[in-house]
Amino acid sequence: MLKAVTFTSAKTQILLMRMDTLEELNRKGFIDEPINPTLDLFAEIEKLKKEKNAIILAHYYQEPDIQDVADYIGDSLGLSQEAAKTEADIIVFAGVHFMAETAKILSPNKTVLLPDLKAGCSLADSCPPHLFIKFKEKYPNHLVITYVNCTAELKALSDIVCTSTNAVQIVESLPKDQKIIFGPDKNLGAWVAKKTGRDLVLWNGACMVHEIFSREKITKLKQRHPNAEFIAHPECEEAVLQMADYIGSTTGLLKYSSSSDATEFIVATESGIIHQMEKANPHKTFIPAPPNNNCACNDCPYMKRNTLEKLYLCIKNGLPEVNVPAEIINQARIPIERMLEISAKLGL
Ligand code: SF4
């Protein structure tokens, strides 16, 4: 029996193929098509970037190959600043979904692509907007500061967004008697409260990667490397932060590892940052802090969903694309821009 498709026009066939692709995208989250194994993906990606006037923004937690092909590598603050000012037509976001959403909010007229739509975030998932609305209602007269690691919908419910680079300064920029709700990360919130001496109302959310560092295993590692400095991201639990010689955002940790005289570091954050630390300090040694489970690594499973192959197929096909409803863009843009303004004033 002849298939109906035999009689369709070339235009319809392209449309049907596109619909198949979109259906598969929704199911798998990424374009899954064979790649010629002899292709030099680095060179192909460079070629596609020029052809399409595309820019690749990559988070420090991406795999080294992706970091090496990116136009800009940074943490959430740097990536937001870059997304706001780029003149490229297409932003390919090698990171997780909320980051691509932030780029879309800041550059709504640009196409924002994400190599794998299922690159989510346990921290963003830990704060469903409908529950946060009820939480907010319990604390009238409170200003809402949300960590950038949350959904666009949650940002739309906020007064100011922050990152781990500027959270302390943003809280300090507010009048002392201002009541504040801080979400979704309870560990970052507790650290900010301690640093600023403010009494923050915390949402009970956390990041699965930063919550699993083992105090006991870190103690043993420190005994084996007595000269190593222990550096940690403020999303880690209080018990782990208490052991740290330095606490800071991903960029803060990178800078500190270069400026410190120490030559050995135990690093408590997602292990992807170690690639940049080693590049900047080839004579120093970086040891990933051990997690509190049987797994040997502390990789973020969401960040690591992106691969060089998915990135190549994403630029080549112009899919998957991340879109945010116009109403959410209009509301979420205000607290993000407040953060960018405060950061610019503070020179961050
Ligand atoms: S490391 Fe944690 S906060 Fe960052 S994307 Fe992964 S789950 Fe989310």
Q: How far does the centroid of ligand 1 lie from the alpha carbon of residue 74, in Å? A: 14
Taking Cα atoms as reference points, which of 97, 88, 77, 102 lies closest to residue 30?
97
Q: Is the pLDDT of residue 277 over 50?
A: yes
CA dist 200 → 130, 170, 178, 191, 195 (Å): 21, 13, 10, 10, 11
**Rounded mean pLDDT, 151-179:** 96
Q: What is the largest CA-CA distance in the chain?
A: 77
**Is 201 in contact with 190 (CB distance < 8 Å)?**
no
Q: pLDDT at position 7, please?
A: 52
Q: Is 209 in the pocket of ligand 1 (CB under 6 A)?
A: yes
Q: How far does the centroid of ligand 1 lie from the alpha carbon of residue 235, in Å? A: 9
Residue located via tokens 């740097």: 78
Q: Is the pLDDT of residue 120 over 80?
A: yes
What is the Cα–Cα distance from 147 to 220, expressed in whole angstroms?
A: 32
Helix (H, G, I), strand (E, B) or coil at 313: helix
Q: pLDDT at position 343, please?
A: 87
**Rounded mean pLDDT, 220-233:** 96
**Is 251 in contact with 77 (CB distance < 8 Å)?**
yes
Q: Is 123 in the pocket of ligand 1 (CB under 6 A)?
A: yes
Residue 301 alpha carbon, nearest atom of ligand 1: 6
Pairing mode, strands 142-147 and 160-162: parallel
Q: pLDDT at position 13, please?
A: 66
Q: Is the pLDDT of residue 318 over 90?
A: yes
Q: How far does the centroid of ligand 1 lie from the alpha carbon of residue 12, in Å? A: 41
pTM of the model: 0.91
Q: pLDDT at position 22, please?
A: 80
DSSP string, 116-153: -TT---HHHHTS-HHHHHHHHHHSTTEEEEEESSS-HH
What is the Cα–Cα distance from 337 to 348, expressed in whole angstroms?
A: 14
Q: pLDDT at position 268, please?
A: 96
* Residue 221 pLDDT class (50, 70, 90 cuts): very high
Taking Cα atoms as reference points, which of 258, 280, 254 lies closest to residue 267?
254
Q: pLDDT at position 4, please?
A: 41
* For the chain, percent of residues with pLDDT exceeding 70: 93
The residue contributing the CA closest to ligand 1 atom 5 is 121
Q: Is the pLDDT of residue 53 over 90?
A: yes
Where is 184: in which H helix or E strand?
A: none
**Rounded mean pLDDT, 11-15:** 65
Q: Is the pLDDT of residue 3 over 60?
A: no
**Is 126 in contact with 150 (CB distance < 8 Å)?**
no
Q: pLDDT at position 2, please?
A: 37
What is the Cα–Cα distance from 252 to 55, expressed in whole angstroms?
A: 24
**Rounded mean pLDDT, 159-174:** 95
Q: pLDDT at position 292, please?
A: 79
What is the Cα–Cα distance from 252 to 259, expressed in whole angstroms?
A: 10
Token pair belonging to 147: 């960590």
Mutate to test the pocket of ligand 1, among 61, 96, 151, 249 (most ligand atoms within 8 A of CB): 96
Q: pLDDT at position 21, please?
A: 75
Q: How far does the centroid of ligand 1 lie from the alpha carbon of residue 303, in Å? A: 7
* pLDDT single digits (tens) 37-47: 999 999 999 99
Q: pLDDT at position 15, please?
A: 64
Mean pLDDT, rounded, of the chain: 93
Q: How far does the centroid of ligand 1 lie from the alpha carbon of residue 123, in Å? A: 6
Q: Is the pLDDT of residue 12 over 70?
A: no
* pLDDT single digits (tens) 306-316: 999 999 999 99
* Residue 279 pLDDT class (50, 70, 90 cuts): very high
Look up residue 291 and give its DSSP letter.
Answer: B
Residue 270 alpha carbon, nearest atom of ligand 1: 1
